[in-house]
Amino acid sequence: MQTIAVYPGSFDPITNGHLDVIRRAATMFDRVYVAIARNSEKAPLFTVAERVSLARTALRGWRGVKVDEFDGLLVRYARRKKARVVVRGLRAVSDFEYEFQMAQMNRQLDAAIETIFLMPKDEYTFLSSRVVKEVASLGGSVSTFVPRNVEQALGKKLGGMP
């Protein structure tokens, strides 16, 4: 039997921290769906189509990894994909409270779906899409934080760096 996992998030845009989590998940599961949320409450910099395209390019050739989009309840989406596992990343204690709440809520909604947390390499523990966008918008280099195609897209979108 295949073990399938879903890694949901905004991915606005995908960063090297996300890639680190996906790389770890890909060694544990036969298939990992990187699921980009359509109904995120935050005002995103990139459209869903742009976020999907950036993630697809960054993940081209990664075995067992697929980029997808979803809206509505995560547990419903996971069920549709026959996934029993939801993967989330944990960077610091500050992530814990929200992640714990979401995991418990998802368990209430569907007890058959387990949430697991993966920790990135320490050099990515300070990394978030928000900080990357902030640095890029101020003209700082983000080349060590995001894949090349994302760096270029940020440059275009924010009219600064290449």
Choice from 44, 65, 120, 154 touching ligand ADP (CB under 6 A): 120
**Residue whose tokens read 């387990």:** 114
Distance CA 155, CA 134 (A): 12
Q: 162 is written with which tokens? A: 């290449």
User: Does the annotation mark 121 as catalytic?
Assistant: no
Give yes or no for a contact between 78 and 109, defined as CB atoms under 8 angstroms apart. no
Output the smallest distance, CB 36 to ligand ADP, in A.
8
Regarding 124 and contact with ligand ADP (CB under 6 A), the answer is yes
Nearby residues of 40 by Cβ (< 8 Å), 6 or more positions away: 10, 12
User: Does the annotation mark 133 as catalytic?
Assistant: no
Compare residues 10 and 106 and give the one whose CB is closer to ligand ADP.
Answer: 10
Nearest alpha carbon to residue 64 among 92, 102, 31: 31
Choice from 67, 91, 136, 151 touching ligand ADP (CB under 6 A): 91
Contact positions with ligand ADP (CB under 6 A) in 23-42: 40
Q: 104 is written with which tokens? A: 């418990």
Q: Calculate the CA 127 to chain-centre distance.
A: 12
Regarding 51 and contact with ligand ADP (CB under 6 A), the answer is no
Output the smallest distance, CB 145 to ligand ADP, in A.
9
In the complex, the residues that contact ligand ADP under the rule CB under 6 A are 9-11, 15, 17-18, 21, 40, 88-89, 91, 95, 120, 124, 127-129
User: Which amino acids are annotated catalytic?
Assistant: 18, 42, 91, 129
